[in-house]
Amino acid sequence: MQLRLASVILFTLFLFSSGAHAGSSIQVRLSSAPKTLDWSIATTGSEGAILQNITAGLFKRVGNGEPKPDLAESYAWSPDRKTLEIRLKSDQTWSDGTPLIAQHFLDSFERLLNPNLSSENASLLFDLKGAREYFLGKVKTFREVGVEAKDRTTLILRLKEPRAQFLSVLTHWACSPYRKDKPHATIGPYLLKQQTKTKITLHARTPELSIQDADFQVISEGKTALELFRKKKLDYLLQLEDSLLGSPELSGLPEPGLSEAVRVVALLHINPSRVETKTPEKRRAIMRAIPVAELVELQPKTRMTANRIIPIGIAGNTEARTAESFKPEGETGSPPSATLTLAYPNDAFSKTLAEQIQAHAKKLKLVIEPLPPGELSTASKRYDLVLTLFGLDYLDPDQLLSSFLYQGTHDLFNLSSSELLKIVQEARTAESVKTRDQLYAKAAQYLESRLATVMPLFYRKRAFLIRDAFTFSSGASGTAQLSLIHLKNRSN
C-alpha cells in the first residue's frame, strides 16, 4: 500500500513539473531572420526582438514610454544639464557571473562610435562631446569623447549641449554594455541558448520570470504562420501582416491585437537633387498626387491618418490633433511626366506599401525597386523617391529631425539648413513637453511644405496574434520583451 501511494505521488509530481515546464515556454513567430545579433550594429525589428531580451541598458522604457533606471541605480544631472553622472547597480552580473562595471559601458560606446565599425546606430551618441568627431575620424583617440568611468560603478557622460530626451537614447539596445574580453557575453534577463537560420532559442536567467523558454521561429509567410498557430505549434505571432486582417485564414482564431501606441510613421522622401524633383513646386505636386487617404483605407485597422511626420505621443504630448490627411502648403507645379524611381526597404511590408503607392498614384509614373543593403547612404544618386518607416520600438523625434541635417551616420538627402538646425536644437534642449511639441511641429512644417522633401503617409500600429493563455504587463501589448509576457495561470 505504501509503495503504491509513493508511486502515485511521484507520478503526480512528474505531471506537475512537466506541465509547469511546458506551460512556461512560448513559441514566437518572426517574419524575417535576424542578420546579426551584434547589438552595436543591429537595426531591424527581428533583431531588436531578440536583443531586447538578451541585452539590458542603463535605462528602460516603462508602459507610458518614459525611461526608468534599469542597470542604473541612480543618476544626477549637473546644473547646466550638460553632465550626467550615473551610478550602476552593484548586484548586476553578466551571463558568466562577471560583475558589471562602468568600464563595460565605456567599451560599448567606444565600439559603437568606432569609424571602422561604421554602425548606423553611432549617431545615437552624437550628443556626447567629441563623439561625432571621433566617428568621422577628426578626433583620433576616444579619450577626447565625453565618456568617463569614474570608478567601477560610476559613469560620467558629458554632452555638447542640454538634451531633454537623452535618457531615452540610452534605452536603445545599441547602448547596452560590452565586454572586450568576452564579446558574446550578455547581461539581459534571457540567455541565447541556441541559434540556427530558422530558430533562436532563449532561456530565462532566473526562475522568477513567467516565461522560462522561448523559441523564435523564422516564418516568412503569414499564412503559414497562421496555420502553425492553428495547429498549436506557435503561440505568438509577433508580426501579423496587415493583409491577413479580416481574412478567412483568421476564422476561429483569437481576435488579433494591436500595439497600444503608434509606433511607426510611414514616410515618403522626395530627392531634391534629382532633375525631376529639383524644385519645391515639383515636389509638392508629387505629394498632392499621392492619395494618402486611399492608402489609409486599404487597412483602416492598423493605419491612421497622419497630418505630420511626427505622430502624437512620440514626444510625450498627448493632446489631440485634427485627423486630416496631410497636404503640403504652398504653390505646386504639375507632376513630373517622366518616370520616377521609388525605392523601398527590402521587407514584405515596405514592398506591399510601395506596390500600393504605385497602383493608386495614377497621376505619377512610378517604377519600384528594393534598396540593396547599404544603399540608403547613396540614395541621392539613384532614386527620386524613397520610402522609409520610422519608429519601431525606439522613438525619438530629435533623431528623426537630425537625420535631415548631416547629423546622422548614414543620412538620406541631407540638407544644409541653418534655420532647421536652429529649430531642432531648440527642441532638443526644451524641458517643456508642450514647447518641444510646438517646435517639432514647426520643424515638420518646414520639411514638409517649405522644403517639401518628406511627407507622412500614415501612422501605423502593429498587429499581433497571441494565444489566450498569455497576457501582457500593463501598457506592453504586442511587446517582444518576454519579461513583460505572463502565463494567466501563473503569478506575474
In whole angstroms, give the CA distance from residue 117 to residue 227: 41
8-state DSSP, 446: I
- Mean pLDDT, the chain, rounded, equals 86
Q: CB neighbours (10 Å) of residue 185?
A: 15
260: phi then psi, degrees, rounded to nearest 5: -70, -25
pLDDT in tens, 292-340: 999 999 998 899 898 888 876 555 555 545 567 899 999 998 999 999 9
How many residues does the structure list for the chain?
492
pLDDT attached to residue 40: 97
Question: For residues 28 and 215, what is the distance between their CA atoms, to the nearest angstrom?
Answer: 6
Grid cell 500600393 is found at 356
Helix axes 418-429, 433-445, angle to 10 degrees: 160
Stretch (H or E) spanning 464: strand 463-466
Q: How far apart are CA 175 and CA 95, in angstroms?
A: 18
**Which residues on neighbouring strands pair with residue 236, listed in sequence order?**
28, 466
Lowest mean pLDDT among 93-102, 160-169, 411-420, 448-457: 411-420
What is the per-residue DSSP string for 377-397?
A: GGHHHH-SEEEEEEETT---H
Handedness of CA 465, 470, 475, 476 (dihedral sign): negative
Closest CA to 292 of 313, 306, 276, 275: 306
Residue 262's nearest CA partner among 218, 321, 217, 326 is 321
Residue percentage of the chain with pLDDT more than 90: 60
Q: Phi-psi category of 454—alpha, beta or left, where left has phi over 0 and alpha has psi -120 to 50? A: beta
pTM of the model: 0.83
Highest-pLDDT range among 91-95, 297-301, 443-447: 91-95
Q: Is-contact 205 191, C-beta < 8 A?
A: yes
**What's residue 6's pLDDT?**
40
Please check the confidence at residue 199 and state whether its pLDDT lies above 90: yes
Beta partners for residue 389, in sequence order = 266
pLDDT value of position 284: 96
133, containing H or E segment: helix 131-135
- pLDDT score recorded for residue 323: 67
Q: Mean pLDDT highest for which of 10-19, 87-96, 368-377, 414-423?
A: 87-96
Query: What topology does CATH give the domain 264-460?
Result: Dipeptide-binding Protein; domain 3 (3.10.105)
Structure confidence by residue, pLDDT tens digits, 112-140: 999 999 998 898 999 999 999 999 999 98
CATH 3.90.76.10 correct for 56-175:
yes
9 vs 381: which has the higher pLDDT: 381
Nearest to 298 by CA among 342, 343, 359: 359
Residue 16 pLDDT > 70: no
A 10 A CB-CB count for 21 gives: 11
Grid cell of 20 as nine digits: 509547469
In what side-by-side order are the strands of the sheet with 340-344?
A: 303-304, 454-460, 264-270, 385-391, 340-344, 366-370
Domain ranges of the chain: 56-175, 264-460
Q: How many CA atoms lie within 13 A of 334 on its CB side?
A: 3
Kindly state the cell numbers that stand for 80. 547646466
Residue with cell 483569437: 254
Q: Degrees (nearest 5) of the Cα angle 140, 146, 152? A: 110
Task: Tell me the C-alpha distance between 67 and 60, whole Å.
Answer: 5
Instruction: Give the whole-angstrom CA distance, residue 209 versus residue 212.
Output: 6
CA 201 vs. chain centroid, Å, equals 22
**Do 306 and 456 meet the contact criterion of CB atoms below 8 Å apart?**
yes
The pLDDT of residue 100 is 98
* Residue 62 one-letter amino acid: V
Q: State yes or no: pLDDT of 36 exceeds 90.
A: yes
Report d(CA 95, CA 54) in Å as an integer. Answer: 9
Average pLDDT over residues 418-447: 85
What was the pLDDT predicted at 475? 80
Could you read off the pLDDT of 139-196 as tens digits, one per residue?
Answer: 989 999 999 999 999 999 999 999 888 998 999 999 999 999 999 999 999 999 999 9
pLDDT of 322 reads: 56
